[in-house]
A = this chain, B = another copy of it.
Amino acid sequence: MAGRRRPVVWPVLLAALVAAGSARATETERVGMSPFGPNDEIGMLNKVTPESVFKVLRRISSGRTYDLSVEFYVGMPSYYFLGQPRFQTWNVHTPQGTIVDDPNGLGKEKNSHVTYSGTAFSMYAHTGTHIDALSHFGLQGEIYNGFKADEQLGDRGWRKGGVEKFPPIIARGVLIDVARYKGVDVLPESYGITVADLQGALRQQNVALEDGDVVMVRTGRMQWFKDNEKYMHNTPGLTRESASFLADAGAIVIGVDNISTDVWPAQESRNWIPVHSAMLSQRGVPIMQNVNLEQLAADRVHQFAWFGAPLRLRGADGSPMRPVAIPIR
């Protein structure tokens, strides 16, 4: 509950921010400008081309599909500490209600014959398995490629950098199973994944990153998904350094099996969420949260064709999605 969680989580964060040295002072952090030109809104997703897509599709070696999404349900873990609305679903039409209300004016007999149900739902876009658009985090009033909030952020979201600009994403996916590499079920609380961890895990898996990869990093936290508080509390995750290593290696999307991608609390003094701001606003690399990597890990499937298509929500800075992996040779 908000009233309780915040005293637990935020003081830790504040202490970390105060305690951290000035070595990381980020006075000069600026958003990145896209190599794809001044109108670019999708960053590294420009690397998804018919050629790159065909390249991975040709390597598909089976029809086994791995569903990388969690289920969405009332009460599911989600950001709410800062007042975000939680996932809700409700019945707009039910068989009984249609008979009683007769909304279509057809009367009791016809509405008893045809049994009508209809669901509605509402959510913060950053709930469940989802992708962050480049507009989700920026620096000093700007987002990736220099679009300014003053000019481009309306009441229906961003006119630049919205998730509706993202193409369907088909690319080689690589699982980096850090939990396995570290020999644990789940990485420890607040553990910051290092570059060495990523390198070690890749070596163990005998996979090398390539330009254009969708990279999925496993902490093991997904195993706690059904225990909200445990799942959300001080999650292990990436740091600016380790995330940057992935971006340098050519990652076009970085997804993690926890709620924050960033290790929590973050380990920097000025920037409370450095992986988000660095990847989204400086590198043009969309990130994902709550990706379910358990079955891939269990089956030791470390590279695969990765399919994912965010909803085209105009102006939204993120979208739920349901990515799928299919093994490749």
Query: Interface residues, chain A, CB within 8 Å of chain B?
Result: 1-6, 10, 13-14, 17, 26, 29, 49-55, 57-58, 60, 62-65, 67, 69-75, 77, 81-86, 88-98, 100-101, 103-106, 110, 112-126, 128, 135-143, 149-159, 164, 167-168, 170, 227-229, 270-273, 277, 281, 307, 309-318, 320-324, 326
Contacting pair A155 B85 (CB below 8 A): no
Contacting pair A63 B69 (CB below 8 A): no
Given contacts A67-B167, A115-B277, A117-B153, 9 further A-B contacts (CB under 8 A): A50-B63, A51-B63, A71-B164, A84-B118, A85-B85, A91-B155, A110-B270, A117-B136, A117-B317
**Residues of chain B lying within 8 A (CB to CB) of residue A270:** 110, 113
Given contacts A110-B272, A113-B29, contact A101 B154 (CB under 8 A): yes
Given contacts A67-B168, A140-B113, A155-B92, contact A322 B312 (CB under 8 A): yes
The 3 A-B residue pairs whose C-beta atoms are closest, nearest first, are: A54-B63, A97-B155, A53-B63
Contacting pair A100 B70 (CB below 8 A): no
Given contacts A117-B135, A118-B126, contact A83 B322 (CB under 8 A): no
8 A–B contacts, CB within 8 A, in A order: A14-B106, A53-B64, A55-B63, A84-B92, A90-B155, A118-B136, A121-B316, A310-B322
- Give which listed residue, B49, B60, B124, contacts A120 with CB less than 8 A: B124
Contacting pair A139 B115 (CB below 8 A): yes
**Residues of chain B lying within 8 A (CB to CB) of residue A4:** 1, 228-229
Copies in the complex: 4
Contacting pair A1 B153 (CB below 8 A): no
Task: Give chain B nearest CB distance to A138 CB in angstroms.
Answer: 3
**Residues of chain B lying within 8 A (CB to CB) of residue A118:** 84, 124-126, 136, 317-318
Within the assembled complex, what's the spacing in Å between the Cα atoms of A1 and B80? 10
Given contacts A14-B106, A141-B115, A277-B114, contact A89 B322 (CB under 8 A): no
**Residues of chain B lying within 8 A (CB to CB) of residue A49:** 63
Contacting pair B82 A103 (CB below 8 A): yes
Contacting pair A82 B57 (CB below 8 A): no
- Give which listed residue, B55, B140, B228, B309, contacts A3 with CB less than 8 A: B228
Task: Give chain B nearest CB distance to A280 CB in angstroms.
Answer: 10
Within the assembled complex, what's the spacing in Å between the Cα atoms of A118 and B2? 18
Within the assembled complex, what's the spacing in Å between the Cα atoms of A255 and B77? 33
**Residues of chain B lying within 8 A (CB to CB) of residue A119:** 124-125, 157, 313, 315-318
